[in-house]
Protein backbone atom coordinates (compact mmCIF):
# COMPACT_ATOMS: atom_id res chain seq x y z
CA UNK A 1 0.00 0.00 0.00
CA UNK A 2 1.65 3.26 -1.10
CA UNK A 3 2.50 5.51 1.81
CA UNK A 4 2.15 2.76 4.39
CA UNK A 5 5.08 2.06 6.76
CA UNK A 6 7.68 -0.24 5.30
CA UNK A 7 9.34 -2.85 7.54
CA UNK A 8 12.46 -4.78 6.60
CA UNK A 9 12.89 -8.12 8.39
CA UNK A 10 16.42 -9.55 8.26
CA UNK A 11 16.71 -13.16 9.43
CA UNK A 12 18.63 -16.11 8.01
CA UNK A 13 15.79 -18.49 9.00
CA UNK A 14 12.53 -16.62 8.25
CA UNK A 15 10.51 -19.82 8.51
CA UNK A 16 11.29 -19.89 12.23
CA UNK A 17 9.54 -16.56 12.73
CA UNK A 18 6.65 -17.12 10.32
CA UNK A 19 3.94 -16.29 12.91
CA UNK A 20 5.65 -12.98 13.66
CA UNK A 21 6.01 -12.08 9.99
CA UNK A 22 2.38 -13.00 9.33
CA UNK A 23 1.32 -10.78 12.23
CA UNK A 24 3.23 -7.88 10.70
CA UNK A 25 1.71 -8.49 7.26
CA UNK A 26 -1.78 -8.50 8.79
CA UNK A 27 -1.22 -4.82 9.58
CA UNK A 28 -1.42 -2.00 7.02
CA UNK A 29 2.34 -2.23 6.57
CA UNK A 30 4.62 -3.33 3.77
CA UNK A 31 6.99 -6.11 4.83
CA UNK A 32 10.17 -7.11 2.98
CA UNK A 33 12.39 -10.05 3.93
CA UNK A 34 16.17 -10.47 3.67
CA UNK A 35 17.88 -13.73 4.60
CA UNK A 36 21.47 -12.64 5.25
CA UNK A 37 23.32 -9.68 6.67
CA UNK A 38 24.74 -8.71 3.28
CA UNK A 39 21.36 -8.94 1.56
CA UNK A 40 19.84 -7.00 4.43
CA UNK A 41 22.39 -4.21 4.06
CA UNK A 42 21.78 -3.94 0.32
CA UNK A 43 18.01 -3.92 0.66
CA UNK A 44 18.14 -1.37 3.45
CA UNK A 45 20.19 0.96 1.23
CA UNK A 46 17.87 0.44 -1.72
CA UNK A 47 14.50 0.54 0.03
CA UNK A 48 15.21 2.83 3.02
CA UNK A 49 12.50 1.21 5.15
CA UNK A 50 10.81 2.90 8.07
CA UNK A 51 11.91 0.23 10.55
CA UNK A 52 14.23 -2.79 10.57
CA UNK A 53 13.74 -6.01 12.52
CA UNK A 54 17.16 -7.60 12.75
CA UNK A 55 18.24 -11.07 13.83
CA UNK A 56 21.45 -11.20 15.87
CA UNK A 57 22.97 -14.61 15.21
CA UNK A 58 23.45 -14.94 11.47
CA UNK A 59 26.36 -16.57 9.59
CA UNK A 60 28.83 -14.26 7.92
CA UNK A 61 27.69 -10.79 8.90
CA UNK A 62 25.83 -10.99 12.20
CA UNK A 63 23.23 -8.53 13.41
CA UNK A 64 25.60 -6.44 15.51
CA UNK A 65 28.00 -5.98 12.59
CA UNK A 66 25.15 -5.08 10.25
CA UNK A 67 23.79 -2.56 12.75
CA UNK A 68 27.20 -0.87 12.86
CA UNK A 69 27.15 -0.50 9.08
CA UNK A 70 23.59 0.80 9.05
CA UNK A 71 24.59 3.41 11.65
CA UNK A 72 27.48 4.61 9.47
CA UNK A 73 25.51 4.96 6.23
CA UNK A 74 23.82 8.36 5.78
CA UNK A 75 20.95 6.62 4.03
CA UNK A 76 20.04 4.32 6.92
CA UNK A 77 21.45 5.79 10.14
CA UNK A 78 18.09 7.30 11.08
CA UNK A 79 16.13 4.07 10.75
CA UNK A 80 15.14 2.43 14.06
CA UNK A 81 16.59 -1.07 14.43
CA UNK A 82 14.81 -3.60 16.64
CA UNK A 83 16.83 -6.71 17.40
CA UNK A 84 14.71 -9.85 17.07
CA UNK A 85 16.47 -12.91 18.44
CA UNK A 86 16.17 -16.18 20.28
CA UNK A 87 19.05 -15.22 22.59
CA UNK A 88 17.87 -13.64 25.80
CA UNK A 89 21.14 -13.23 27.72
CA UNK A 90 21.40 -9.88 29.46
CA UNK A 91 24.88 -9.13 28.12
CA UNK A 92 23.73 -9.75 24.56
CA UNK A 93 20.67 -7.54 25.01
CA UNK A 94 22.87 -4.77 26.37
CA UNK A 95 25.31 -5.25 23.48
CA UNK A 96 22.47 -4.89 21.00
CA UNK A 97 21.20 -1.70 22.57
CA UNK A 98 24.72 -0.28 22.74
CA UNK A 99 25.13 -0.85 19.00
CA UNK A 100 22.26 1.54 18.28
CA UNK A 101 19.26 -0.77 18.49
CA UNK A 102 16.15 0.84 19.96
CA UNK A 103 14.61 -2.39 21.25
CA UNK A 104 15.42 -6.05 21.82
CA UNK A 105 12.62 -8.55 21.26
CA UNK A 106 12.70 -12.30 21.77
CA UNK A 107 11.48 -14.50 18.92
CA UNK A 108 9.35 -16.36 21.44
CA UNK A 109 7.26 -13.27 22.16
CA UNK A 110 3.57 -13.18 21.36
CA UNK A 111 2.95 -11.83 17.84
CA UNK A 112 0.66 -9.22 19.35
CA UNK A 113 3.50 -7.91 21.51
CA UNK A 114 5.76 -7.59 18.48
CA UNK A 115 3.10 -5.67 16.57
CA UNK A 116 2.56 -3.38 19.54
CA UNK A 117 6.27 -2.62 19.90
CA UNK A 118 6.70 -2.00 16.19
CA UNK A 119 3.71 0.35 16.23
CA UNK A 120 5.21 2.30 19.14
CA UNK A 121 8.56 2.75 17.37
CA UNK A 122 6.90 3.71 14.10
CA UNK A 123 5.05 6.41 15.97
CA UNK A 124 8.09 7.63 17.90
CA UNK A 125 10.66 7.59 15.12
CA UNK A 126 10.15 9.97 12.19
CA UNK A 127 10.81 8.68 8.71
CA UNK A 128 14.37 9.55 7.56
CA UNK A 129 14.61 12.63 5.40
CA UNK A 130 15.21 11.34 1.90
CA UNK A 131 15.44 14.79 0.34
CA UNK A 132 19.20 14.69 0.78
CA UNK A 133 19.35 11.43 -1.19
CA UNK A 134 17.54 12.26 -4.41
CA UNK A 135 18.53 10.08 -7.39
CA UNK A 136 20.68 12.81 -8.89
CA UNK A 137 22.71 12.94 -5.68
CA UNK A 138 23.32 9.22 -5.26
CA UNK A 139 26.96 9.56 -6.33
CA UNK A 140 27.69 11.39 -3.06
CA UNK A 141 26.65 8.41 -0.95
CA UNK A 142 29.50 6.30 0.44
CA UNK A 143 30.25 2.89 -0.99
CA UNK A 144 29.91 -0.17 1.22
CA UNK A 145 33.69 -0.30 1.57
CA UNK A 146 33.68 3.28 2.83
CA UNK A 147 30.91 2.43 5.29
CA UNK A 148 32.93 -0.58 6.51
CA UNK A 149 35.95 1.70 6.92
CA UNK A 150 33.97 4.22 8.95
CA UNK A 151 32.50 1.49 11.14
CA UNK A 152 35.93 -0.04 11.76
CA UNK A 153 37.48 3.33 12.62
CA UNK A 154 34.67 4.13 15.05
CA UNK A 155 34.94 0.69 16.66
CA UNK A 156 38.70 0.99 17.10
CA UNK A 157 38.50 4.55 18.42
CA UNK A 158 36.00 3.44 21.04
CA UNK A 159 38.12 0.49 22.17
CA UNK A 160 41.68 1.80 21.93
CA UNK A 161 42.71 0.29 25.24
CA UNK A 162 41.80 -3.23 24.09
CA UNK A 163 44.24 -5.51 22.21
CA UNK A 164 41.86 -6.20 19.32
CA UNK A 165 43.01 -8.62 16.63
CA UNK A 166 42.51 -7.97 12.94
CA UNK A 167 40.03 -10.86 12.81
CA UNK A 168 38.00 -9.38 15.69
CA UNK A 169 37.81 -5.96 14.06
CA UNK A 170 36.87 -7.38 10.67
CA UNK A 171 34.19 -9.65 12.11
CA UNK A 172 32.70 -6.78 14.10
CA UNK A 173 32.08 -4.82 10.89
CA UNK A 174 30.85 -7.74 8.82
CA UNK A 175 33.90 -8.56 6.73
CA UNK A 176 37.10 -10.63 6.86
CA UNK A 177 40.67 -9.69 7.68
CA UNK A 178 42.16 -9.52 4.17
CA UNK A 179 39.32 -7.40 2.83
CA UNK A 180 39.52 -5.00 5.78
CA UNK A 181 43.28 -4.67 5.25
CA UNK A 182 42.71 -3.90 1.58
CA UNK A 183 40.10 -1.26 2.43
CA UNK A 184 42.45 0.52 4.86
CA UNK A 185 45.31 0.45 2.35
CA UNK A 186 43.13 1.73 -0.48
CA UNK A 187 41.44 4.55 1.41
CA UNK A 188 44.01 5.52 4.04
CA UNK A 189 47.28 4.31 2.53
CA UNK A 190 48.21 2.35 5.65
CA UNK A 191 47.56 -0.92 7.40
CA UNK A 192 44.91 -1.37 10.06
CA UNK A 193 47.51 -1.55 12.82
CA UNK A 194 49.40 1.49 11.50
CA UNK A 195 46.14 3.44 11.76
CA UNK A 196 45.53 2.10 15.26
CA UNK A 197 49.00 3.28 16.28
CA UNK A 198 48.36 6.74 14.80
CA UNK A 199 45.00 6.95 16.57
CA UNK A 200 46.55 5.94 19.90
CA UNK A 201 49.22 8.60 19.57
CA UNK A 202 46.67 11.20 18.48
CA UNK A 203 44.54 10.42 21.53
CA UNK A 204 47.67 10.49 23.65
CA UNK A 205 48.52 13.99 22.41
CA UNK A 206 45.02 15.12 23.25
CA UNK A 207 45.21 13.74 26.78
CA UNK A 208 48.65 15.25 27.35
CA UNK A 209 47.44 18.68 26.29
CA UNK A 210 43.98 18.65 27.88
CA UNK A 211 44.32 16.68 31.14
CA UNK A 212 46.59 16.19 34.13
CA UNK A 213 46.61 12.42 33.83
CA UNK A 214 49.90 10.71 34.60
CA UNK A 215 51.90 8.97 31.89
CA UNK A 216 50.95 5.46 32.98
CA UNK A 217 47.24 6.34 33.00
CA UNK A 218 47.49 7.89 29.55
CA UNK A 219 49.46 4.94 28.22
CA UNK A 220 46.91 2.42 29.48
CA UNK A 221 43.91 4.43 28.29
CA UNK A 222 45.19 4.52 24.70
CA UNK A 223 46.37 0.92 24.52
CA UNK A 224 50.05 0.92 25.46
CA UNK A 225 51.19 -1.61 28.03
CA UNK A 226 53.42 0.82 29.90
CA UNK A 227 54.44 4.45 30.13
CA UNK A 228 57.83 3.42 28.76
CA UNK A 229 56.31 1.93 25.60
CA UNK A 230 54.14 5.00 25.15
CA UNK A 231 57.08 7.35 25.60
CA UNK A 232 59.21 5.46 23.09
CA UNK A 233 56.47 5.38 20.44
CA UNK A 234 55.58 9.03 21.06
CA UNK A 235 59.18 10.22 20.75
CA UNK A 236 59.70 8.23 17.54
CA UNK A 237 56.57 9.71 16.00
CA UNK A 238 56.66 13.27 17.34
CA UNK A 239 60.38 13.92 17.83
CA UNK A 240 59.84 14.97 21.45
CA UNK A 241 58.99 13.11 24.65
CA UNK A 242 55.44 13.23 26.04
CA UNK A 243 56.68 15.39 28.92
CA UNK A 244 58.22 17.90 26.52
CA UNK A 245 55.04 17.94 24.45
CA UNK A 246 52.94 18.59 27.57
CA UNK A 247 55.17 21.45 28.71
CA UNK A 248 54.95 23.09 25.29
CA UNK A 249 51.17 22.61 25.22
CA UNK A 250 50.87 24.18 28.69
CA UNK A 251 53.05 27.10 27.69
CA UNK A 252 50.91 27.71 24.62
CA UNK A 253 47.69 27.74 26.64
CA UNK A 254 47.07 31.04 28.47
CA UNK A 255 47.13 30.45 32.24
CA UNK A 256 47.09 26.70 31.61
CA UNK A 257 43.44 26.96 30.68
CA UNK A 258 43.75 24.07 28.23
CA UNK A 259 44.23 21.66 31.12
CA UNK A 260 41.28 20.10 32.86
CA UNK A 261 41.07 17.63 35.66
CA UNK A 262 40.67 13.99 34.56
pLDDT tens per residue across span 191-206: 999 999 999 999 999 9
pLDDT, tens only, 172-226: 999 999 999 999 999 999 999 999 999 999 999 999 999 999 999 999 999 999 9
Per-residue confidence (pLDDT) for residue 124, from 0 to 100: 84
| pLDDT > 80? residue 91 | no
Split at pLDDT 50, 70, 90, the class of 167 is very high
Stretch 39-53: mean pLDDT, rounded? 96
| pLDDT > 60? residue 77 | yes
Per-residue confidence (pLDDT) for residue 86, from 0 to 100: 78
Per-residue confidence (pLDDT) for residue 18, from 0 to 100: 95
Split at pLDDT 50, 70, 90, the class of 140 is confident
Work out the mean pLDDT of the chain and round it to a whole number.
Answer: 89
Chain centroid to CA 236: how far? 32
Bigger pLDDT: 259 or 224?
224
β-pairing, 51-54 with 81-85? Answer: parallel
Stretch 45-72: mean pLDDT, rounded? 94
pLDDT, tens only, 101-132: 888 898 999 999 999 999 999 988 665 554 44
Distance (Å, whole) CA 237 – CA 228: 14
Q: What pTM, to 2 d.p., does this model score?
A: 0.84
| pLDDT > 80? residue 62 | yes
Distance (Å, whole) CA 131 – CA 137: 10
| pLDDT > 70? residue 57 | yes
Per-residue confidence (pLDDT) for residue 134, from 0 to 100: 47
Burial classification of residue 242, based on how many CB atoms lie within 10 Å of its CB (0-12 exposed, 13-18 middle, 19 or more buried): buried
CB 195 within 8 A of CB 209: no
Bigger pLDDT: 261 or 8?
8
Distance (Å, whole) CA 164 – CA 146: 21
**Secondary structure E strands in the chain:** 6-10, 30-34, 51-54, 81-85, 103-106
Per-residue confidence (pLDDT) for residue 130, from 0 to 100: 46
CATH of 194-256, one of 1.10.10.60, 1.10.3720.10, 3.20.20.20, 3.30.200.20: 1.10.10.60
| pLDDT > 60? residue 262 | no
Split at pLDDT 50, 70, 90, the class of 136 is very low
CATH architecture, range 6-136: 3-Layer(aba) Sandwich (3.40)
| pLDDT > 80? residue 25 | yes
∠ CA(103), CA(43), CA(149), 5° rounding? 80
Phi/psi for 26 (5° steps) reads -75, -15
Least confident of 1-5, 139-143, 210-214: 1-5
pLDDT, tens only, 231-242: 999 999 999 999
Amino acid sequence: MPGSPHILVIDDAPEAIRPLVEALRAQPWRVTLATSGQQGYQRAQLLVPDLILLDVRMPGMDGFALCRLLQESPRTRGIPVLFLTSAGATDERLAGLSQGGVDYILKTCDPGELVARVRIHLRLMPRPDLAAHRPEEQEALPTQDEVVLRAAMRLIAGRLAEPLSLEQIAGAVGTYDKRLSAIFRQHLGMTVFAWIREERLRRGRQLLADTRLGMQDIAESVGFRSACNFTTAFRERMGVTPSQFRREAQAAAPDGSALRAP
